[in-house]
């Protein structure tokens, strides 16, 4: 059980087909265990296909689409990774707008592995200290981020991690930042 309570806090998980399953399910469970209410937000309605590496995993029911979701109804955003998932999210205008809204409202945002790719296209990464899967470092640096190779990085409510091996530290910081609430330095 987390030392931080986020009872009653609503947390959006933004993803699509190709999500790295453990990067969805592990933070989702951490949010639930701390009393939070996770909601699956995706690009389209229906069910999404998770993956364990290159192997198909479970499917997950979509609660809301990014087009119909409103960041003002949530307390935080989590963006799981997975190459295919992240590549589709980053070019979707609704996903970009939804993500950017959390920064504009100074709310915590967490992205792991390939998830930070979306932050580039949402226009919220310049000047922020982040980490990610190592193959994204050039993209993030070119977008103006201060990339570092660390287990978990927290910058004014923005939580980033590198890969599934970092999930324990990532989950802990996600719950901690949500419990702290809005961060004045979390801006678009």
Active-site annotation, residues: 113-114
CB contact set of 146 (below 8 Å; sequence gap of 6+): 127, 128, 129, 130
How far apart are the C-alpha atoms of 113 and 23, rounded to whole Å? 8
Name the token pair of 69.
């979701």
133 contacts 113 by C-beta, under 8 angstroms: yes
H runs (alpha helix) in 72-157: 83-90, 93-104, 117-121, 137-142
Nearest to 113 by CA among 83, 143, 89: 83
């Amino acid at each position: 059980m987390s030392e931080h309570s986020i009872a009653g806090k609503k947390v959006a998980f933004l993803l699509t087909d190709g999500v790295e399953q453990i990067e969805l399910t592990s933070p989702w469970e951490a949010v639930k265990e701390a009393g939070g209410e996770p909601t699956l937000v995706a690009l389209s309605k229906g069910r999404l296909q998770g993956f364990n590496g290159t192997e198909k995993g479970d499917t997950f029911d979509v609660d809301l689409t990014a087009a119909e979701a409103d960041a003002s109804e949530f307390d935080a955003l989590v963006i799981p990774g997975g190459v295919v998932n992240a590549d589709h999210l980053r070019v979707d205008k609704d996903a970009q707008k939804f993500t950017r809204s959390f920064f504009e409202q100074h709310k915590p945002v967490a992205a792991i592995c390939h998830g930070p790719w979306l932050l580039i296209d949402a226009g919220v990464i310049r000047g922020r200290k982040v980490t990610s899967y190592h193959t994204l470092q050039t993209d993030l640096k070119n977008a103006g981020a201060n990339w570092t190779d660390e287990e978990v990085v927290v910058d004014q409510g923005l939580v980033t991690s590198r890969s599934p091996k970092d999930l324990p530290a990532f989950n802990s910081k996600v719950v901690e930042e949500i419990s702290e609430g809005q961060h004045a330095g979390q801006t678009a």
